[in-house]
Amino acid sequence: MIRLRTLVLMTAATAVVAGLAVAQGGPDPIAGAIIARQSHMQLYQHNIAVLGGMAQGNTEYNAEAAVAAAGNLVALSSLSQMTYWPVGSEVGVAEETRALPALWTSMDDVIVKATALNAAAVAMQAAAGTDLAALQGAMGALGGACGACHESYRQPD
């Protein structure tokens, strides 16, 4: 059951994309994939920020909000990224990306690390609803999972 607001937003988004496609004579799959995966990362950032804010005492611990944010991380890390990483969208070939070529030659390892992130998010979902101390403890595995992939496959600053 899709909410009306969601339906309107989806329609508007589709219209924008379609409009752009018509304007450019067809969507650029490389640029589109890069934008999509970076947006995906920003969604991680947004939801981790909710948890991190509570962990560091900058915001009041709220179990419901924390569980919701962790639930988003679980959902995000479960999405299929099949079309996020087209060949030709790596550093050195495409613009505006930090994805290293090693990502494409080490897919097995990438999947291991993606699975670890999902596991850390699931653990956080359980911890977030328990208490603040549990949430704080679960930040380690979450950050570590993000870092493990970036360490190998994202171009350093």
Partner 1 sequence: MRAVIRGLIRFVFVLALIGAVVAWFLSAPDRLPGAALAGLTGDAERGAMVFAAAGCASCHTAPQAEATEAPVLSGGKRFVSDFGTFIAPNITNDPAQGIGGWTDAQVVEAVMRGVSPDGAHYYPAFPYDAYAKAAAQDMLDLVAHLRSLPVSDIASQAHEVGFPFSIRRAVGLWKLLFRSDEWVVAGDLTPEQTRGRYLAEALGHCGECHTPRNALGGPERANWLGGAPNPSGEGRIPNITPAGLTWSEAEIAQYLFSGLTPDFDTAGGEMAAVVRNTAQLPEADRAAIAAYLKVVPPVASPVASLAPAPVSQ
From residue 80 to residue 119, the character string flagging contacts with partner 1 as x (rule: CB under 8 A) and all else as - is ----------------xxx---------------------
Nearest residue (CB) to partner 1, 15 versus 49: 49
Backbone conformation region of residue 62, classed left if phi is above 0, alpha if psi is from -120 to 50, else beta: beta
Beta bridge mates, 94: 91
Using an 8 Å Cβ cutoff, are 81 and 37 in contact?
A: yes
Any contact of residue 151 with partner 1 (CB under 8 A)? yes
Structure tokens at 12: 């508007």
Alpha-carbon span 86 to 147, nearest angstrom: 22
Q: Minimum Å distance from CB 70 to partner 1? A: 14
Give the position of tokens 């981790």. 48
Report the interface residues with partner 1, using CB under 8 A.
38-39, 41-42, 44-45, 48-49, 52, 55-57, 96-98, 139-140, 142-144, 146-148, 150-151, 154, 156-157
